[in-house]
Amino acid sequence: MIINSQEIEYRNFYRDFIQSKKPILIKSAFKPNTLNKIVTDKKDKIKPLYSRGAAPFLYTYFDDSTIRNYVFNLPIIKCLLDNPNTQFREKMRLWHHNKGNISYFHYDQRSTDLLNICLSGSKQWLLLPPDAPLKCWPFYNIALPFQRKKKKQAISLIMEQGDLIYIPRNWFHQLMTLEHNTKNINLIFNDLTDNQMATRERELTSIKRLFIPNYIYGDNIAMLNNTIDSVPILKTLARLFRELLPIFIFIFITIIFLSIQAVTLGTIAINTIILKQIS
Ligand SMILES: O=C(O)CCC(=O)C(=O)O
Ligand SMILES: [Fe+2]
């Protein structure tokens, strides 16, 4: 799970980790100072994701050729980029957090694998595999609170300046920032040899297809789009029902609660009027 950059053969990175979908933290994968300086110089041009828990809610990608050239030419990334089996998204995301920030448990949508490099500071990653999925908010990729027993089983990795982490598609991750001024850049890509999609992700996309017939999933990877086509309509409808059920229950409980409040207030008002009339 943790390896030193000297111990890794970049040529075999795809075969050993990406194809076998094994997360890995590579210590001292790059020299962070030059990149950190480029990013700092450009801080007015690229928009980092600052806020607490920003990860799940904001998807602000930035596009900057100087940063892209630098990042995509780091030997380990270049090796993957040159591999015909990977399809990288050119835009990246920059996270800029202070100590204590938490990006809560979520998985990255669109079945993308992700690489994340740390420019400054440090973060703790908690990882849970897709075969032990957390329950998420309806129609969303963010885990519901609680589920403590499962969350306790997460693997913990500490990422420091100069480290790179690889997280395979559909793995749940939560990040806690350990130092002020922690910056990390996230790159995503699809492994074109891999047509596995998490069941819920596939069914959620199939629901989208019901409403938007030409909906294209993710970065238009044919293999994944074909997989979605094969979801039976009954499974799609069952998923729709399962996602809507908690919303209906919530609305139902709210209506009952408000009705009880209204009846109680009404009774109090009537009693007050009667008491006034008696006296
Ligand atoms: O750094 C963070 O807080 C969030 C990173 C993340 O979720 C990602 O790279 O996918
Ligand atoms: Fe993420």
pLDDT tier at 30 (50, 70, 90 boundaries)?
A: very high
| Minimum mean pLDDT range among 57-61, 144-148, 153-157 | 57-61
- How much is the pLDDT for 48? 64
Is the model more confident about 8 or about 210?
210
- How much is the pLDDT for 34? 92
Say how far apart CA 113 and CA 12 lie, in whole Å: 17
- Comparing CA positions, the residue from 204, 144, 202, 191 lying closest to residue 172 is 144
- Ligand 1 geometric centre to CA of 275 (Å): 62
Is the model more confident about 43 or about 19?
19
pLDDT at 106 over 60: yes
- How much is the pLDDT for 6? 76
- How much is the pLDDT for 49? 62
Chain centre distance of CA 66: 26
Based on the number of CB atoms within 10 Å of its own CB, is 256 exposed (0-12), middle (13-18) or buried (19 or more)? exposed
- Strands (E) in 108-237, as ranges, are 113-120, 122-128, 155-160, 164-167, 172-177, 182-191
- How much is the pLDDT for 54? 46
- How much is the pLDDT for 12? 87
- How much is the pLDDT for 253? 95
- How much is the pLDDT for 52? 46
H-run or E-run covering 257: helix 233-278
- From atom 5 of ligand 1, which residue's Cα is the shortest distance away? 55
- Strands (E) in 62-199, as ranges, are 86-88, 93-97, 102-106, 113-120, 122-128, 155-160, 164-167, 172-177, 182-191
Under 8 Å between Cβ of 92 and 21: no
- How much is the pLDDT for 40? 87
pLDDT tier at 195 (50, 70, 90 boundaries)?
A: confident
Is the model more confident about 7 or about 87?
87
CB of 187 closer than 6 angstroms to any ligand 1 atom: no
Q: Which two tokens stand for residue 141?
A: 């990729």
Where are the chain's structural domains? 2-191, 195-279
pLDDT at 177 over 70: yes
- Ligand 2 geometric centre to CA of 4 (Å): 23
Task: State the CB neighbour count (10 A cutoff) for residue 97.
Answer: 28
pLDDT at 42 over 60: yes
Q: From the CA of 56, give the closest atom in ligand 1.
A: 7
pLDDT at 139 over 60: yes
Task: List the end-to-end C-alpha distance of the chain, in Å, as a whole number.
Answer: 80
CATH superfamily of 2-191: Jelly Rolls (2.60.120.10)
For range 260-274, the mean pLDDT:
91
Under 8 Å between Cβ of 112 and 188: yes
Is the model more confident about 67 or about 126?
126
Ligand nearest to the Cα of 93, by number: 1
pLDDT at 232 over 60: yes
| Minimum mean pLDDT range among 40-54, 140-154, 195-209 | 40-54
Question: Phi and psi of 129, rounded to 5°?
Answer: -75, 160
Q: Which amino acid is at 274?
A: I
For range 103-119, the mean pLDDT:
93
Residue carrying structure tokens 């309806």: 138
- How much is the pLDDT for 249? 94
pLDDT tier at 205 (50, 70, 90 boundaries)?
A: very high
CB of 175 closer than 6 angstroms to any ligand 1 atom: yes
- Using DSSP's 3-state secondary structure scheme, residue 35 falls into helix
% the chain with pLDDT above 70: 95
DSSP-assigned beta bridge partners for residue 27: 4
- How much is the pLDDT for 28? 93
Ligand nearest to the Cα of 49, by number: 1
Average pLDDT, the chain: 90
pLDDT tier at 111 (50, 70, 90 boundaries)?
A: very high
- How much is the pLDDT for 58? 47
Under 8 Å between Cβ of 103 and 136: no
